[in-house]
């Protein structure tokens, strides 16, 4: 991409960021009370504390990209608001537009991923689903759900969903995949076919979600696989 036109390149001082094997996990906080629960889950899985930044902290994000340690991947947190609203998702939109780093979106972060790649997000056809624990099924052939059984229980806490205004499920653009859904047909996970972008509507950090650690571990493993090998130290 042309660094002069790409917003994330501008954030990084005109240099396209690259995923680094030894880099930090960055969590973009969309002003949600669950963000630090998500950070705790990431720490428990990876053994390293993630860097948590508000979705308005562009300079701090640029500094993380430019630091010697660098960034391995980014998690976009849940949050209030709508994914179509720049003020609600802030930096998330630019990170998704860049797509040079592996990204895992949760709830609002997942919805932002959907909107960024041509999927509609509107009010869920079944109304708000707040704190409900329900079984989720998945395609069974994607690395995000490796080791996760069909019908695992997940905590839903959302009023918006990937759907049309009338509640109908959308046709997926060629670049996107539907990975998981609940029994009521509401989509619960998506991925990009060729870019390192994945997301879930439910909350893996919830104490009532089964296999939440496995999902984060699978994302971390995919991010490591995407990152180029670290350069050999100079003699």
107 is catalytic: yes
How crowded is residue 194: how many other Cβ atoms within 10 Å of its Cβ? 8
Catalytic residue among 192, 203, 211, 220: 203
Where are the alpha helices (H) located in 54-149, listed in sequence order?
A: 58-66, 86-89, 91-98, 108-116
Q: Is 146 a catalytic residue?
A: no
Please identify which of the residues 94, 117, 205, 220 carries the catalytic annotation.
Answer: 205
Please report where in the chains the tokens 């909350």 appear, as a residue.
203
- Catalytic residue, candidates 73, 107, 117, 158: 107
Q: At what angle do helices 58-66 and 91-98 cross, to 10 degrees?
A: 40
Residues 6+ apart with CB under 8 A from 167: 122, 123, 124, 125, 126
DSSP state of 203: B
Ramachandran angles phi, psi of 182, nearest 5°: -95, 170
Residue 92 is among the residues annotated as catalytic for this protein: no
Enzyme catalytic residues: 107, 203, 205
């Amino acid at each position: 991409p042309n660094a002069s036109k790409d917003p994330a390149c501008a954030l990084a001082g005109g240099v396209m960021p690259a995923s680094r094997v030894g880099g930090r996990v960055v969590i973009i906080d969309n002003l949600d009370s669950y963000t630090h629960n998500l950070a705790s889950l990431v720490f428990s899985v990876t053994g390293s504390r993630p860097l948590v930044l508000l979705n308005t902290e562009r300079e701090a994000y640029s500094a993380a990209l430019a630091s010697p340690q660098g960034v391995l991947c980014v998690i976009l947190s849940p949050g209030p608001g709508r994914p179509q609203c720049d003020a609600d998702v802030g930096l998330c939109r630019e990170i998704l537009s860049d797509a040079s780093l592996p990204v895992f979106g949760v709830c609002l972060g997942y919805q932002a991923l959907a909107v960024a790649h041509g999927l509609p997000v509107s009010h869920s056809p079944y109304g708000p689903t707040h704190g409900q624990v329900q079984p989720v099924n998945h395609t069974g052939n994607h690395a995000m759900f490796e080791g996760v059984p069909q019908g695992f229980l997940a905590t839903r806490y959302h009023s918006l969903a990937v759907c049309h205004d009338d509640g109908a499920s959308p046709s997926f653009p060629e670049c996107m995949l539907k990975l998981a859904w609940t029994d009521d047909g509401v989509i619960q996970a998506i991925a990009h076919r060729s870019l390192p972008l994945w997301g879930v509507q439910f909350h893996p950090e919830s104490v009532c979600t089964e296999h939440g650690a496995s999902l984060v571990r699978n994302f971390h493993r995919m991010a490591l696989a995407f990152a180029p090998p670290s350069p050999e130290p100079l003699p």
